[in-house]
A and B are shown apart, each in its own frame.
Chain A
Amino acid sequence: KAGVTQTPRYLIKTRGQQVTLSCSPISGHRSVSWYQQTPGQGLQFLFEYFSETQRNKGNFPGRFSGRQFSNSRSEMNVSTLELGDSALYLCASSLGDLRETQYFGPGTRLLVL
């Protein structure tokens, strides 16, 4: 089975721009979660989608949004980028319950200049 894939792997943007990141989950997985990883902060939960619906949301501003398509692929969008948005963005998929093993993609490293 193919693992979780994320595109692009690296991205450089400037302040004020917007960015869209993509995540393809493992086939059959219906839950996709997004995390932001920064040094010293660990993985901060952004949101989780299940069957095209946002089921859970972390404490991030509204500039961070996402969606999930009928094939379970998910996109994450960040508008009006700030320097502090520079981070590794990880997505993870699972069958449906976050208590089941989550399988992570390699991440998208975003640098905001």
Chain B
Amino acid sequence: DQQVKQNSPSLSVQEGRISILNCDYTNSMFDYFLWYKKYPAEGPTFLISISSIKDKNEDGRFTVFLNKSAKHLSLHIVPSQPGDSAVYFCAASAREGNKLVFGAGTILRVKS
């Protein structure tokens, strides 16, 4: 039962353009969402998060949008840089349960 889905296994973008990574969830109890980035041979590192009381959170080149009615969130990277090439995981949590549910990840390749 995949409660958090990242339907695009991979995405290729030209350097300087926008990267949009998408994530859908099914559990309406989720109220906190995060994005993690993972390089090969390293553990995931936290990128940005958003609470369900907001619909947008921005941190430098990274912006996360949350559409609660559609149970959808997206991560925008503008402008994309070759160093952004990594696997991006979307994760969600509910206040009850205190555990993170991760998506399968999207491989982003930024071409120079």
Contact = CB atoms under 8 A, between A and B. Distances in A.
Interface of A: 4, 33, 35, 40-45, 48, 55-56, 58, 90, 92, 97-99, 101-107
Contacts of A92: 43-44
Interface in B82-112: 89, 91, 93, 97-105
Interface residues of B, number: 23
Given A41-B104, A42-B103, A43-B89, A48 B46 contact: no
B59 interface: no
Contacts of B32: 99
A15 B44 CA distance: 29
Contacts of B97: 56
A44 B93 CA distance: 13
Contact of A42 (B93, B99, B104): B104
A90 B41 CA distance: 11
Nearest to A104: B43
Contact of A56 (B98, B102, B104, B105): B98
A55 B45 CA distance: 23
